[in-house]
Amino acid sequence: MKLEGRYGRNKKTLSDEDQLKLATSCVAIVGCGGLGGYIAEELARIGVGRLVLIDGDRLEVSNLNRQIMATELNIGQWKVEAARDRLHSVNSEVNIEVVRGWFEEDKGPELFQNVDLVCDALDSREARVVLERVCHEMNLPLVFASIAGWFGQIGVSLPGDFSVSRLFGRGEQGVEKAWGNPAFTPAVLASLSVAEAVKLVVGLKPSLRHAWLQVDLLTMEFERFEIL
C-alpha cells in the first residue's frame, strides 16, 4: 500500500499505523441509500480494506436527489452493485462484498463474519434495534445514524450499551418517508458516522458512546444528549 500517494493527505490526521489498521479492517454498511452510500464512499476513500454492502433495493428516479451512487444511467440497478461499481472506480484496492437482500436477524452471523465494525444506515426503527442486538451478540461495535429533512441523529453503541433500543424504542418506521431528505443531510450525517467509525477502527475513543448527537441543519445547531 502506497501511503505517500493515495493516502498522503491523510497524514497529520492519521498515522501510518492508523492507515495500516484501516487497510486490514472490514466494515459492514447496512443500507446503501442516501446515508449508506456516502458512508461507503468515504470509507473507501480513507482506505478501509474491505467493505460489506447490504441492501435489498434497486435505484429509482427519486433517489437522484440525494444518493451518491445514483445516476441517470443506472436507474433500476441494484444499489449494492451500483455502489460496488462506483467504489471500484474510486479505490480499486478495496475488497467489496455485496449482499442483494435485506438485513435479517438470523443472517447476522453469516453477514458479519470477519467484520470489525458495523454502520447502521437503515430507515426502520425496528430493524435498527434488531441490528444492534445482533452486533452485541457478536461483540461488534455499531455506529448508528438516522436522517429526516433538515435533521439527523448519530451515536455509537458498543456491546452491552443498547443505546439504539433506548433511543429509538418501538416502531417500524422513522420519519424519513414523511419528511423526505435533501442532498445535504445524508452527506453530513455520513461524514459524522465515518469519523466515529475511523476512531473505533484505529483504537481511539469514540465521542458518542452512551450519547447521541442531534443535528439541526436548518438552525445549524448541534446538541449532544447523554443516554443514561
Which domains, and CATH codes, for the chain?
A: 15-226 (3.40.50.720)
Q: How far apart are CA 52 and CA 110, in angstroms?
A: 11
Asked if 65 and 182 touch (Cβ cutoff 8 Å), the reply is yes
Residue 75 is predicted with a pLDDT of: 98
Which residues of the chain carry a pLDDT beneath 50? 172
The amino acid at residue 6 is R
Which residue is listed with cell 461495535?
141
Strand partners, 56: none
Q: Tens digit of pLDDT for each residue in 70-91?
A: 999 999 999 999 999 999 999 9
Residue 168 is predicted with a pLDDT of: 84
In this prediction the pTM is 0.95
Residue 228 is predicted with a pLDDT of: 82
Closest C-alpha to 39, from 125, 113, 142: 142
Tell me the residue ranges of DSSP E strands in 15-58: 26-30, 50-55
Residue 62 C-alpha cell reads as 427519486
Residue 2 is predicted with a pLDDT of: 63
Residue 180 is predicted with a pLDDT of: 83
Residue 187 is predicted with a pLDDT of: 98
Asked if 51 and 96 touch (Cβ cutoff 8 Å), the reply is yes
